[in-house]
Amino acid sequence: MALATSLRKFGRTGRVEDLKFDRRMTAVFQELVLRHSMLVRAKRWELGWKALFLLGCAAGLARLALGMQTGRFGAVWLYPMLLALDLGLFAKVRAATDISQKAMVNFGVVRHHLTGMLEVGNVCDCAGNCDCRERFRRQALVEYGISLY
C-alpha cells in the first residue's frame, strides 16, 4: 500500500497497481527514483558543456583555417582569447564529467541495493507465492525506464 502511494507521487502515467510492499522498500525505491533523476540531469549538463566545447573548438579552427586560406590572419589577439575560451570550456567539461560519474556511482549503489532486496525476498506483505516482485520490476521499467533485472 505504501508503494502505491510512492508510485502515485512519482509516477508519470498515473496508473497505479495495487502492490503491497513495506516501508523500507518504498523508501529505497523513492531514493532510486531521486538518484535516477539526478543522473539524467547530470548527463544532460555534461552533454551541454561538451557541445559548447566542440562549438568553441570549431570556431577557433574555422578562424585559423580562414586566416590560412586568405593569407590575412586579421586580429592576432583573437587566437589567444579563443584558446583561453577553449581551455575554460575544457575545464567545465572535466568538472561535468566528474559530477556525472559520481551520480552514476550513486545510482548504481542504490539500484544494487534495491535489486538485492528484490532477489532476497521478504519485501511484500503477501502470503505464499506471488508475482509482486516481477510486477514491481516491470512497472519500474515501464514507468521510469529503470531496469531492475
pLDDT score recorded for residue 74: 67
Distances (CA, A) of 83 to 7, 30, 53, 68: 49, 44, 11, 17
> What's residue 13's pLDDT?
44
Q: For the chain, what are the domain ranges? A: 2-144
Query: How high is the pLDDT of residue 123?
Result: 67
Give pLDDT < 50 ranges for the chain: 1-18
Q: Which DSSP string corresponds to 24-64?
A: HHHHHHHHHHHHHHHHHHHHHHHHHHHHHHHHHHHHHHHHH
Alpha-carbon distance 90 to 52, whole Å? 9
- CA–CA distance, 26 with 17 (Å, rounded to integer): 14
Give the pLDDT confidence score for residue 19 in this predicted structure: 53
Q: Provide the pLDDT for residue 20.
A: 58
Q: What is the pLDDT of residue 130?
A: 73
Task: Give the SS3 label for residue 17.
Answer: coil
What cell numbers appear for 75 in the block?
A: 586580429
Each residue's pLDDT tens digit, 73-109: 666 677 788 888 888 888 999 999 999 999 999 898 9
Q: Length of the chain, please?
A: 149
